Amino acid sequence: MVKSVKAFRNGFISRPKSVSPDTPINEIVHIKETKGISGILVTEGGDPHGKLYGIVCSKDIDYIKDKNRPVRDVMTKRADMTVERAPIELPQAMDVLNRSRHGYLPILNDADEVVYLVSRRDAVRARQFPNSTLDKTGRLVCAAATSTRDDDKRRVEALVGAGVDVLVLDSSQGNTLYQIAFIKWVKQTFPHIEVLAGNVVTQDQAKNLIDAGADGIRIGMGSGSICITQEVLACGRPQGTAVYKVSKYCASRGIPTTADGGLRTVGDICKALAIGANVAMLGGMLSGTSETPGEFFFKDGLRLKVYRGMGSLEAMTQGKESGKRYLSENEAVQVAQGVSGHVVDKGSVVRLLGYIAKGLQQSAQDIGEPSFDAVRRSVYEGQVLFNRRSATAQAEGGVHSLHSYDKKLYASKM
């Protein structure tokens, strides 16, 4: 999965797929079918950084009957290709590619050897998703979750080998000897990998993880829509208080925080970001979308999908990873800290995220600030205030005085 994310969008492709001039066309067909690559460089010896002779694309081989012919007979030759010289900035390369109307742009050194390759597909995806978070090579930043036991070190090694950028340590209570030792091992073994540690709800918990080397802190215990930790174990903290207190301490250490749990509306996200969180993690808000795991089914005329907590018995009995999160994978009796339920179909997550982003923009606009970084500063400086709302104020802040109404949160033209 990590490899798929990292390959979805490339900036400069540092090791483009290449073949030698004598490679038969049937091998090109095999590469296309198995790897989905439609443009393959033809270089000296098939070296990804060898001297460029040409490029072979789907259009060059689709109507060739004899698939045993070498690609040198059908390739687009170097003299007919648009190329650029290294060094070159990615925006410049993309601009040259767009003006050339070709599918690929090889970047060569003075010896005509391949340095990088730029693809039109990536240029199109850059236009479609202009706000994507990218690494230094122009690929998507990818995070992956892991538990914190010794046998999870092999998982981390595999994730790093696949190109992961961030590790999210998966634990309901992050201030443990397991997690502290695991953070130290990751930062010693893979210092370039960022670690999002947690979950915590107090400043002392956050301090221990930051001292161990955590790059970010996740805040929340028992506040998720399918979590019953506070009810069953009497452990946790009101999410607003936890986010404010922990984020204030983390900010003094230069560490960003993530509000995890209890966010039901755009207004909740706004409040979390205003009181200190740098990131909002969404679970229940995105559940029921087409892209989430599970199959839709119908009940009482509604299209539903299963949504379960990782602390539910269903999740813990299916595999040991959920048990690790709640420190109970080897226990004879497992105590549920979550439930399993059903949520209504919400359509595509693309449209829902568009609504959330637009809602946050309008929220900051109405507050009178250009961004939530500015909102947060104004809250800390006392310029933006929170007011206690009575039951009457809460009632008048919602829909009232109507016989009936249809509450639709957004209309999308996407």
Q: Annotated binding residue at 252?
A: no
Are 147 and 321 a contacting pair, CB within 8 Å? yes
Q: Quick one: pLDDT at residue 391?
A: 93
Lowest mean pLDDT among 8-22, 213-227, 313-327, 337-351: 313-327
pLDDT band at 1 (very low <50, low <70, confident <90, very high): confident
Per the structure block, which two tokens stand in for 46?
Answer: 């098939």
**Integer Cα distance of 203 and 245 in angstroms:** 7
What is the rounded average pLDDT of the residues 397-411? 84
Nearest residue to 10 via CA among 117, 84, 142, 82: 117
Nearest residue to 277 via CA among 296, 299, 262, 287: 262
Distance (Å) of CA 259 to CA 28, 136, 204? 48, 26, 17
Say how many C-beta atoms besides its own lie within 10 A of residue 177's C-beta: 9
Say how many C-beta atoms besides its own lie within 10 A of residue 66's C-beta: 9
Q: Annotated binding residue at 220?
A: yes
pLDDT tens sequence across 25-84: 999 888 888 887 888 999 999 999 999 999 998 888 888 888 889 999 989 999 889 999
Q: Annotated binding residue at 170?
A: yes
State the average pLDDT for the chain: 89
Q: Start-end ranges of CATH 3.10.580.10 in the chain?
A: 9-126
CATH number of 143-285: 3.20.20.70
The predicted model scores a pTM of: 0.79
DSSP state of 271: H
- pLDDT for residue 403 is more than 60: yes
**Integer Cα distance of 229 and 218 in angstroms:** 16
The correct answer on CATH 3.10.580.10 for the domain covering 9-126 is: yes
Residue tagged 């914190």 (tokens): 148
Q: H-type helices in 275-390, by residue range?
A: 313-318, 320-325, 349-367, 372-380
Q: Annotated binding residue at 171?
A: yes
Q: Annotated binding residue at 138?
A: no
pLDDT tens sequence across 346-386: 999 989 999 999 999 999 999 999 999 999 999 999 999 99
Q: Quick one: pLDDT at residue 123?
A: 77
**Integer Cα distance of 206 and 198 in angstroms:** 8
Q: H-type helices in 319-348, by residue range?
A: 320-325
Q: Start-end ranges of CATH 3.20.20.70 in the chain?
A: 143-285
Q: Annotated binding residue at 222?
A: yes
pLDDT tens sequence across 172-194: 899 999 999 999 999 999 999 99
End-to-end Cα separation, the chain, in angstroms = 27
**Strands laid side by side in the 104-108 sheet:** 84-85, 104-108, 114-119
- Percentage of residues in the chain having pLDDT higher than 70: 95
pLDDT band at 328 (very low <50, low <70, confident <90, very high): low
What is the rounded average pLDDT of the residues 149-166? 94
Q: Annotated binding residue at 354?
A: no
Query: Known catalytic residues?
Result: 227, 325
Q: Quick one: pLDDT at residue 414?
A: 54
Q: H-type helices in 151-310, by residue range?
A: 153-162, 177-189, 203-212, 229-233, 239-252, 266-274
Residue 72 makes CB contacts below 8 A (sequence gap 6+) with 21, 22, 42, 53, 54
pLDDT band at 137 (very low <50, low <70, confident <90, very high): confident
Are 309 and 315 a contacting pair, CB within 8 Å? yes
Nearest residue to 376 via CA among 293, 256, 223: 256
Task: Select the more confidently predicted residue: 271 or 227.
Answer: 271
- pLDDT for residue 314 is more than 80: no
Strand ranges (E), 96-209: 104-108, 114-119, 143-146, 166-169, 194-200
Tell me how far apart the 2 most distant CA atoms of the chain are, in Å: 81
Q: Quick one: pLDDT at residue 321?
A: 62
Task: Select the more confidently predicted residue: 231 or 282.
Answer: 282
**Integer Cα distance of 223 and 243 in angstroms:** 11
What is the rounded average pLDDT of the residues 285-298? 90
pLDDT band at 3 (very low <50, low <70, confident <90, very high): confident
Residue tagged 């539903």 (tokens): 304
- Percentage of residues in the chain having pLDDT higher than 90: 52
**Integer Cα distance of 300 and 281 in angstroms:** 31
- pLDDT for residue 260 is more than 90: yes
The DSSP element (H or E) to which 217 belongs, if any, is: strand 216-219
Nearest residue to 255 via CA among 303, 292, 226, 212: 212
Q: Which residues pair with 198 in a beta bridge?
A: 218
β pairing state of 257-260 and 143-146: unpaired
What is the rounded average pLDDT of the residues 265-288? 94
Q: Annotated binding residue at 216?
A: no
pLDDT band at 125 (very low <50, low <70, confident <90, very high): confident
What is the rounded average pLDDT of the residues 197-207? 95
Nearest residue to 25 via CA among 79, 66, 53, 76: 66
Q: Quick one: pLDDT at residue 23?
A: 92
